[in-house]
Each structure stands twice: as structure tokens, then as C-alpha cells.
Amino acid sequence: GAGVSQSPSNKVTEKGKDVELRCDPISGHTALYWYRQSLGQGLEFLIYFQGNSAPDKSGLPSDRFSAERTGGSVSTLTIQRTQQEDSAVYLCASSLTSGSHHEQFFGPGTRLTVL
Amino acid sequence: GNSVTQMEGPVTLSEEAFLTINCTYTATGYPSLFWYVQYPGEGLQLLLKATKADDKGSNKGFEATYRKETTSFHLEKGSVQVSDSAVYFCALSVDTGFQKLVFGTGTRLLVSP
């Protein structure tokens, strides 16, 4: 079956512009996670969704970052007024439910470059 | 806080050599432990996991044992192949209602024929 998909695969933007990154989780997966993989910080948790609500947004680095999930499926991560330090690979993962015994399946990521 | 420390890479080995990648952790509570692998051009994949002390996770010839007394989860393989070349991430999760993964920095493994 289809795995987690993310779009675009690559995004180059200018400093100060807004960007939207999309994640399509595996059908039927209620839990969705965003992570960021950057050279300086490694792999960091950003936000978690259960259904359409986000019980944990503790990893979002600033108020320029926001995310939403609609219909319990697709999620969008928005970065406003991008900065060069936002350059990273943004990973999305989904799992059947939020329970700790359910494996997270990762998408291929979106590589964001802020010039 | 929760954190994972793993050995710096790259680790360079010849085919059929023995592999160890060290991983230690600090956690509040009782974590589950994971090894993820990222092959070139692919997404992260779960390689193996262990959820309680002395459990051994295994997959594709890789093994790791959850050692509570040394807070470690070292990854081992008896005979590596060129196809094992990838980046390996150790991770933990403390169940706070959901699986919030905390990753190490990753270790790149390069296996030559």
C-alpha cells in the first residue's frame, strides 16, 4: 500500500517568504508527527497530531511555525517569514494510533533551503 | 530531560566485518528504545526496538539489547554487507500519551567490498 508522502520534495525560497509543506499520512493512521532534520540540531520533534487536534506543539521553534491537520488526514506545516536557520529536511511520520507500541512510518521528507 | 548519545561517524568497515554502534540514553521514566535506519535517498525506517529492560530487538541480522543498568542500547551485526551502508539513528520514547521520539545525531556506516 501507499506510504507517507510529502510534497514538495525540494523547496528553495528567499528569506522572508512564507512556505507550506504538505504531508499525506498512511490511510487510516490517526496519529501524525512532524520532525526536522538539520545539520546543527540533528532530528528534532516539532508537533504531534491525534486526529485534527495537536496535543503537543512543544517542538515548534518559534511562532513563525504553525501546522494544521484537516479531515484527520492531510497535514500542512507553514513557516512564515522564513529565515536561513529554517533550512532543513522536514519529515512527517504517521502511526495507526498514538500508542507507544505503534510504529511510526516516515515520509521521504521535504528539503527546504532558505537563501 | 531525555536525550540520546551515539558514537560519531562515519564508521568504515569492510564487508563481513563485525559492527558495533554505541548508544546511551538519559531518560525520565521508563523509555522504549529504537534503532532507525536511513538508506541513501530513502526515508527513515524502523530497524528494531525494545520496550523493557533485557529485551533484545533484532531484525535483518542486527541486534540490540536494552541494558537498564548501563543505560545503553548498542547496535551490533556479526557480518555487515555493502547494502548495510546507511545512517543509523538511536532513539527513545517515554510514553506521555504518545510516542514522542528523541533521536541521537545519527551514525553513518560505510561498508566497502
Who contacts A82 (Cβ-Cβ below 8 Å, separation ≥6)? A13, A14, A15, A16, A17, A18, A19, A64, A112, A114
Strands (E), chain A: 5-7, 10-13, 19-24, 31-38, 42-50, 53-56, 65-69, 75-79, 88-95, 105-106, 110-114
Confidence of residue A1 (pLDDT cuts 50, 70, 90): low
Q: What's the pLDDT score for residue A92?
A: 96
How close A100 gets to chain B, by Cα (Å)?
5
In chain B, the residue whose alpha carbon lies closest to the alpha carbon of A93 is: B44
Q: What's the pLDDT score for residue A100?
A: 66
Per CB-CB distance under 8 Å, the chain B contacts of A35 are 101, 103
Percent of chain B with pLDDT over 90: 80
How close A10 gets to chain B, by Cα (Å)?
13
Residue bearing cell 508537533: A47
Amino acid at A55: P
| A48 three-class SS | strand
Contact status of A25 with chain B (Cβ, < 8 Å): no
Residues B63-88 have pLDDT tens digits of 999 999 999 999 999 999 999 999 99
In chain A, the residue whose alpha carbon lies closest to the alpha carbon of B47 is: A103
